[in-house]
Amino acid sequence: MELKVRMQLNKNTNIEAVFEAADLQDAIRMAGVFLDFDGKCGMCSGEDITLNTRVTDQGFKFTEYSCRSCGGRRNFGKHKDGESFFLKPWEEKYQPTKGA
């Protein structure tokens, strides 16, 4: 089974991804982070969203939707099976504390 997902990330960027799975339920589970995203920032309702992945020095990967308007971000969490992701709640832009 193959499920193709197309989404408009922002006014300038479209994403297309293909998910291959044994059946429709598994394909939908794998594509969930795209199917569950409404295209707006959960902090400011902005629509200028980017998709980023960063890698730490230890090799951990973090993928997230980021808002260019307010800096809010929504990280992908990885299911224990390692085959699919879920969306974590929106967070405000990181602000380092003074004196830190």
pLDDT digits (tens, 9 = 90+) for 49-69: 999 998 989 988 889 999 999
Residue 99, in any domain of the structure: no
Residue 46 and residue 48: Cα distance in Å, rounded?
Answer: 6
Structure tokens at 53: 């992945």
To which H or E segment does residue 34 belong?
helix 24-35
Residue 93, in any domain of the structure: no
Residue 57, in any domain of the structure: yes
Residue 95, in any domain of the structure: no
Answer for the pair 75, 67: CB distance below 8 angstroms, yes or no.
Answer: no
Residue 56, in any domain of the structure: yes
| Count: domains in the chain | 1
Residue 13, in any domain of the structure: yes
Q: What proportion of the chain, given as a percentage, has pLDDT over 70?
A: 98
25: containing domain: 2-87
